[in-house]
Amino acid sequence: MTINCLVIDDEPFAVNLLEEYISQVPYLHLQHKCYNALEALSYLKEAKPDLIFLDINMPHLSGMQLVSLLPPDQPFIFTTAYSEFAVDSYEKNAVDYLLKPITFERFLLAINKVVKSGATPAAAADPANSSRKLFLKTGKAIVQVEYDDVLLIEGLKDYVIFHTKEAKHVVYKRMKELEETLPAHFSRVHLSYIVNRHHIRRIEDNHVFVGTERIPVSEKYRDAFLSCINKGLL
């Protein structure tokens, strides 16, 4: 799977930053970069990128105006320094909305959303690969992890700990925000725990056993969790 990207922004620094981020993700490819919307319109007459990163506030023709001229099936992500455009961006059917300065962690979340949704032709063509991996920014390193290797996720205030088969990775992220990006086989069972149902050994006395861990199942999440379990119950 390769997602070909077009970057449109009148700020060279912003273009360079996105170019650097794209180069760090193996399945992303920078197809072209434009420094204003009129240049992009000319390019788009001959090319069809899988995904467009689009600034909103540009001279002559804004990003909002440009998307109105794009094919309705063209996936795009808005990038802007102005938070007040957020509501309008989703009304334009943007896949995501990145607020500058854009961190690599937030960029990866947007890309995971694109892949998970199958919004791009490349992602839709390879559904088996669409939710297999994610990137974790832990300390100064960026680690690629297979979803199937994640046993459970533990919340600790503003951090989460990914418990995998080989190691534990601490990431600066809130549980609620993370929960919305995970594949369907992950279940929230407690305020502090999300478990991968593929690795559950047994469920007993309001506890779920994953690997060597005994995780409590709280009343708030019990019904939804057991509903998922009952679908595969013999």
Burial class (CB in 10 A: 0-12, 13-18, 19+), 219: exposed
pTM greater than 0.85: no
77 is written with which tokens? 């992500």
pLDDT digits (tens, 9 = 90+) for 24-52: 888 899 999 999 999 999 999 999 999 99
Q: What are the backbone dihedrals phi and psi of residue 77, each rounded to the nearest 5 degrees, phi first? A: -125, 125
Give ranges for CATH 2.40.50.1020 in the chain: 133-230
132 is written with which tokens? 């297999």
The rounded distance, in Å, linking the Cα atoms of 177 and 89 is 20
The pLDDT assigned to 51 comes to 96
Report whether CATH 2.40.50.1020 matches the domain 133-230: yes
Give ranges for CATH 3.40.50.2300 in the chain: 3-129
The pLDDT assigned to 181 comes to 76
Q: Which amino acid is at 159?
A: Y
* Unique residue bearing structure tokens 């455009």: 85
Angle between helix 12-23 and 104-117 (nearest 10): 60
Name the stretches of the chain with pLDDT < 70: 1, 85-91, 121-131, 233-234
CATH topology of domain 3-129: Rossmann fold (3.40.50)
Write the CB contacts of 68 (distance below 8 Å, at least 6 apart in sequence): 92
pLDDT digits (tens, 9 = 90+) for 57-96: 999 999 989 998 998 889 999 998 877 766 566 667 888 9
